[in-house]
A and B are shown apart, each in its own frame.
Chain A
Amino acid sequence: MGELRAYAALAGAQARSVFSYRASFLIELFSNVGATVFDVLSVLVLFRATDRVGGFTLPEALLMTSITSAGFALADFTVGNVDRLKVYVRAGTLDAVLVRPLGALPQLLLMDLPIRKLLRVVFGFGVLAVALRMNHIDWTPARVLLITVAPIAAAVFLSSIFVLSASLAFWWVDSGELGSAFTYGGRDFTSYPITVYGPLFRGLFAYALGFAFVSYQPALALLGRPDPLGLPAWAGFAAPFVACAAAVVAAVVWRTGIRHYRSTGS
């Protein structure tokens, strides 16, 4: 309980810090929406050229895109800043965090909470609502449950990818933008029906790394469409479990990384 209050206080402090630069905050807040708008626009543009992509119509594809956008916006807002870890590792700032009686990861996230990205989350969920209206979904209790959980599961999954790629910095300070291939790459991958990708690439990203469960499988389950790639109907409901598994892996790697932390001279 006391710990939760401590985390809340940290988040509040970050908000006040950000508001101390008011003008730049407002500019960033609105310019940030742009990024998410482009995700959706790129799907719309694609459908001007063809009316089916990978065997899916525009509303169906938009549903996949919007589950990803909502989940990614949420993950990027809460956990995305973990990619600054490499800066902290290089500068040794992590020391100050490690001598406090709180978890290192939550502290880092809250101390850097990018409030400017808040509107992206709102926009992401807005598009998701529109996409749900555009499709004629046969609502059953299971599907209602799924649509509440799916964006959160997507966010948990993508957050785990953020943490995993940031943890590289513990071993390899010059990890640079390698992690972005999986975070932003993962977002772009899951924005389209995975049927559009070649089998090798798809096998790696969708199944070996689990990205199929971010938006493609849940969207199929919501639409009641059989998977053209042959996975059974319940696969859509596996998304939360895949997300939990990813979170466990991320937590283990993070913990190992912290033990591996080398700090810097004086």
Chain B
Amino acid sequence: MIRTNELRKDFTVRVKSGRFRREKRVVEAVAGVTLSIEPGEMVGYIGPNGAGKSTTLKMLTGVLTPSGGDVEVCGLRPVPQRTKLALNIGVVFGQRSQLWWDLPLHESFALLRHIYRVPAAEHAARLRRCRDLLDLDDFLDIPVRQLSLGQRMRGELTAALLHGPRVLFLDEPTIGLDVVSKQAVRSFLAELGATGDVTLVLTTHDLADIERLCERLVVIDHGRVVHDGTIDALHTRYGSRRSLVADLADPLPDGFVLPGATLVGVEADRHRVTFALDGVTAGVAVAGLVAAVSIRDLSVVEPDIEDVVARLYASTDAP
């Protein structure tokens, strides 16, 4: 569905270097990204600010002309076949609106039907589905400029889907939303992805979006892909482990060893201990611990994706 090979985008910036002189400097925003995304996949595309996420997305949607490399979306070349591609993709830019600011929301939807030349029946069916899933009915008659950010984002999602795109690109769709609106957007996207009809590419800074929605995670930094795989693969690669936190009835004996786990933390006068699991299941570790000491409370903590990603960004700091 999406294929890129050594995709590059350079920008020339002029930097002041002296009173009248300006120096030309070439910045590689995207420095050779090779990706292959199959139909129906849901891919999270993440990276720190300025890593080249949005630039990649803009090259995939035909907004920007690549400086080098190949790109193909839905079998089309984005820039030369821009208008043809536009009929096959939906785009939500979290910080740019596709809606008509001064008109009631429902008028934007009617206009998009003309712009994308969608048969009336199909349009009505898709709109009805979005209205149900996103609760649009309360604000369909309100001009877009008066909508709250959460309402507007639900409108944007609908607008991007009314022509039945095969690929949906979302650039930070949850940015600035409150918890409830975030949840609404996520569960809508999850439902959409579950149908398998739409390929979904999502950039975000909110890793909860990724955990909830995307099997596959592509991490980009300084214009290069630094990870491409599942979230689990990321944890394995960066050695993040599940951990076992236990509150003990008595202080932990000196020199205690739990097979298959490493003691990583001792608190509260040796009453609270944390073990990182080295490949054994939580069950085996708990059984081992219960057999040796008496336990008041116990919890298994999943590795935190934020930590892993923070470490990943830090480790690739120098280009």
**Which residues on A are within 8 Å of B, measured CB to CB?**
2-3, 5-6, 8-10, 13, 16-18, 20-21, 92-96, 98-103, 259-263, 265-266
Contacts and interface: CB of A to CB of B under 8 A. Distances in A.
Nearest to B97: A96
B290 interface: no
A7 to B, nearest CB: 9
29 contacts: A2-B117, A6-B114, A6-B117, A8-B114, A9-B114, A10-B111, A10-B114, A13-B107, A13-B111, A16-B103, A20-B103, A95-B93, A96-B93, A99-B61, A99-B63, A99-B86, A99-B98, A100-B83, A101-B83, A101-B84, A101-B117, A102-B115, A103-B83, A261-B63, A261-B65, A263-B63, A263-B64, A266-B49, A266-B172
B63 A266 contact: no
Contact of A99 (B11, B62, B79, B172): B62
Interface in B257-312: none
A75 B100 CA distance: 25
A265 B62 contact: no
Nearest to B12: A262
Nearest to A260: B65
Given A102-B86, A261-B65, 5 more contacts: A5-B117, A8-B114, A13-B111, A95-B63, A265-B54
Contacts of A17: 100-103
A170 to B, nearest CB: 11
B5 interface: no
B89 interface: yes
B2 interface: no
A247 B66 CA distance: 28
A266 B54 CA distance: 5
A261 B61 CA distance: 14
B83 A96 contact: no
A13 B86 contact: no
B186 interface: no
Contact of A96 (B55, B96, B107, B172): B96
Contacts of B65: 259-261
Nearest to A259: B65
Contacts of A5: 114, 117
B95 interface: yes
B225 interface: no
A10 B108 CA distance: 10
Contacts of B116: 100-101
Given A20-B103, A259-B65, A266-B171, A98 B93 contact: no
A9 B98 contact: no
Contacts of B50: 265
A93 B96 contact: yes
Interface string B25-56: 00000000000000000000000011001110
Nearest to A21: B102
